A and B are shown apart, each in its own frame.
Chain A
Amino acid sequence: GEDVEQSLFLSVREGDSSVINCTYTDSSSTYLYWYKQEPGAGLQLLTYIFSNMDMKQDQRLTVLLNKKDKHLSLRIADTQTGDSAIYFCAEGNTGGFKTIFGAGTRLFVKA
């Protein structure tokens, strides 16, 4: 079945770049998403990329998609302490809303 995998933890220093990686198995995925979950809060949609794109930039966020390897990454430039959260990678298909989530990567930002 479909599966989304990501590393569980990442620790960076404030001001450095963070790169969170994700692999997925469903080659028919239409969209790939990144969600952020801060402590005690629900998931916030950060950004998404359509499967026929290989890069999307949105302010400090850069999403890279390697469709051949089914690899997705999220780069956060100039990481701040407020970026500390759990980041979920997810894949989905048009209309079905069968979004499959990874287990989440907990990002720790050290001052």
Chain B
Amino acid sequence: SAVISQKPSRDICQRGTSLTIQCQVDSQVTMMFWYRQQPGQSLTLIATANQGSEATYESGFVIDKFPISRPNLTFSTLTVSNMSPEDSSIYLCSVAGTEEDTQYFGPGTRLTVL
């Protein structure tokens, strides 16, 4: 399994500002994903972070709102832009495991937007 860390672990931000969340993995991985877990709800895939190319966004998520970087095989960032209270959520980084299409998750970043 992979060890995944995220920074920050939590933050409280003002409406209209942006926050960049970092995800670091202890090994090289091909596929990295960003999920959102809104209060009391399940996980929703935001995008797949591709190394060397633009991220692939799921329906309902756009690059202008959630720009993603993937400069190498162990690191990715997700920016939540022009935040509103509706963006308050836990943001989780995930990587693909090596068998049975398993996924491993980071500890999450708890974001509160005032």
Contact = CB atoms under 8 A, between A and B. Distances in A.
Given A40-B107, A97-B31, A102-B42, A45 B102 contact: yes
B45 A99 contact: yes
Among B1, B6, B102, residue most surrounded by chain A Cβ atoms (within 10 Å): B102
Contacts of B97: 45
B95 to A, nearest CB: 10
A42 B100 contact: no
Contacts of A101: 42-43
B108 A97 contact: no
Interface of A: 4, 30-31, 33, 35, 40-45, 48, 50, 88, 92-95, 97-99, 101-104
Categorize the interface residue count of chain B. 20 to 34
B104 A45 contact: yes
Interface of B: 1, 4, 6, 31, 33, 40-43, 45, 48, 92, 94, 96-97, 100-108
Given A101-B42, A103-B42, A42 B106 contact: yes
A45 B94 CA distance: 11
Given A41-B108, A42-B106, A30 B101 contact: yes
- By Cβ-Cβ distance, the 5 closest A-B pairs, closest first, are A42-B105, A43-B105, A103-B42, A101-B43, A101-B42
Contact of A43 (B40, B45, B48, B92): B92
A42 B104 CA distance: 9
A30 B100 CA distance: 9
Nearest to A89: B42
A65 B97 CA distance: 22
A94 B41 contact: no
A40 B41 CA distance: 15
